[in-house]
């Protein structure tokens, strides 16, 4: 008999977890209700382990786009929502996505709005996604909203892939440099050091310093590795705090190349996301709230929250962003045109497209700049070690001749 895991509420209002055998999920629910328990979650034990376990499979962006486009196509063709979701559940290959759709189907069958059901899975469906669906349900245009969402998700994914692709090569070179450095320090330098000290004579300061560093790393490797691990852990822990994250975001914006790129990415993301939300019927204040949280930079989020408060106080958004130190002047100017013509979403799409092209150019330039810099750093590190090793050998050769 199949085994089910369950989460229920007892008569005292406390959560109760456990497992129960039953022929079907409905049998387990009836059994729990017979025990004066209110079921909240009931799933096959194997499904629960596959989805909620340590090896929970992440839903990729292209899988979310595929789900959104398929759902949009089916709803637009007149297929009932429940049947569309059930069909997509049967076709889903990702176990996490399959389980999420199954739970969404149950929630919608129980009377929940689609947006509310999606909102229970924040790891898959973002605030932007849920709010646009909610606005689409209110206006009766869910199929159109799904098309907008698919385009929105694809655009965001494309930008992330470009950034990741631009950073891959420098990251590989940096990793190779670090591996080469530690490899030389632990295995090569000690052997060469024994040869050089065996020949006698005073070693140059650079060579002696390199040998001392290598000797310390070999003798106290646990301190070196522990210190590096502690440093990495400390930095990550600090960056998870509000103060650390804000400090890091401030430094990023002040950096010569990274600051310019971050600003363009944030502006492109703001204009496209805000445009999609208000074009779907979401209120300006709610759209600002959701958009601000999606920008990925605390300073931009605070700036959007400040503008949102001024909009609540009666200002136009263009006026609230005018004179902003973070947003370029083109943003409030185009917003003013959109507010005057009643086509804010259309105008902002143009701004988004402009800045997305700027981001493409900036990423290409940054990639071209980083590659030679990383090669120089890698060559310099290896060259420094080579100079420290070869210097004494060359000096001895001159003395012999």
Report CA Rg, the chain. Answer: 29
Within a domain: 144:
no
The answer to whether the Cα torsion of 48, 50, 56, 61 is positive or negative is negative
Please check whether residues 199 and 266 belong to one and the same domain. yes
Lowest mean pLDDT among 182-196, 223-237, 326-340: 182-196
Q: How confident is the model at residue 50 (pLDDT cuts 50, 70, 90)?
A: very low
Domain count, the chain: 3
Q: What is the dihedral of CA 48, 51, 53, 57, to 10 degrees?
A: 170
Pairwise CA distance, residues 214 & 189, whole Å: 7
The pLDDT of residue 282 is 83
- Average pLDDT (219-236) is 93
- pLDDT for position 337: 93
267 and 163 together in one domain: yes
For residues 108 and 215, membership in a common domain is answered with no
More confident residue, 396 or 268: 268
Do both 269 and 322 map to the same domain? yes
- Asked if residue 69 belongs to a domain, the reply is yes
pLDDT digits (tens, 9 = 90+) for 123-157: 888 888 888 888 888 877 888 888 888 887 888 77
Residue 370 lies in a domain: yes
Instruction: Say what the pLDDT of residue 10 is.
Output: 81
Any bridge partners for residue 62, and if so which?
A: none
Are 48 and 65 contained in the same domain?
no
Structural domain containing residue 40: 3-52
Give yes or no: residues 47 and 77 share one domain. no
């Amino acid at each position: 008999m199949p085994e089910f895991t369950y989460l229920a509420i007892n008569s005292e209002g406390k959560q109760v977890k456990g497992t129960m055998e039953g022929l079907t999920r409905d049998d387990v629910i009836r059994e729990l209700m017979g025990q004066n328990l209110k079921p909240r979650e009931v799933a096959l034990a194997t499904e629960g382990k596959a989805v909620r376990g340590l090896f929970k499979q992440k839903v990729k962006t292209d899988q979310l786009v595929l789900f959104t486009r398929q759902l949009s196509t089916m709803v637009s063709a007149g297929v009932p929502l429940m049947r569309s979701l059930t069909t997509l559940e049967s076709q889903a290959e990702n176990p996490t996505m399959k389980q999420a759709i199954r739970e969404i189907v149950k929630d919608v069958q129980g009377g929940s709005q689609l947006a509310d059901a999606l909102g229970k899975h924040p790891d898959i469906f973002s605030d932007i996604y849920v709010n646009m669906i909610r606005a689409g349900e209110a206006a009766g245009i869910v199929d159109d909203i799904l098309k907008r969402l698919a385009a929105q998700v694809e655009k965001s994914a494309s930008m992330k892939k470009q950034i990741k692709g631009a950073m891959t090569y420098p990251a590989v070179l940096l990793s190779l440099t670090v591996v080469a450095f530690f490899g030389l320090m632990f295995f090569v330098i000690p052997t060469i050091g024994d040869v050089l000290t065996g020949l006698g004579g005073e070693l140059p300061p650079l060579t002696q310093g390199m040998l001392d560093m290598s000797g310390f790393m070999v003798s106290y490797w646990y301190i070196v590795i522990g210190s590096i691990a502690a440093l990495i852990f400390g930095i990550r822990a600090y960056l998870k705090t509000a103060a650390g994250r804000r400090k890091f975001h401030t430094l990023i914006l002040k950096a010569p190349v990274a600051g310019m790129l971050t600003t363009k990415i944030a502006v492109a993301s703001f204009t496209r996301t805000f445009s999609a939300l208000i074009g779907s019927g979401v209120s300006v204040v709610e759209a600002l709230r959701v958009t601000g949280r999606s920008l990925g930079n605390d300073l931009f989020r605070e700036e959007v929250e400040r503008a949102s408060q001024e909009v609540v106080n009666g200002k136009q958004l263009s006026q609230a962003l005018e004179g902003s130190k973070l947003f370029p002047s083109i943003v409030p100017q185009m917003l003013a045109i959109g507010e005057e013509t009643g086509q804010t979403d259309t105008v902002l799409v143009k701004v988004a497209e402009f800045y997305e092209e700027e981001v493409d150019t900036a990423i290409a330039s940054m990639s071209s700049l980083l590659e030679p810099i990383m090669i120089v750093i890698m060559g310099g590190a290896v060259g420094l070690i080579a100079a420290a090793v070869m210097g004494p050998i060359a000096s001895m050769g001159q003395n012999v001749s």
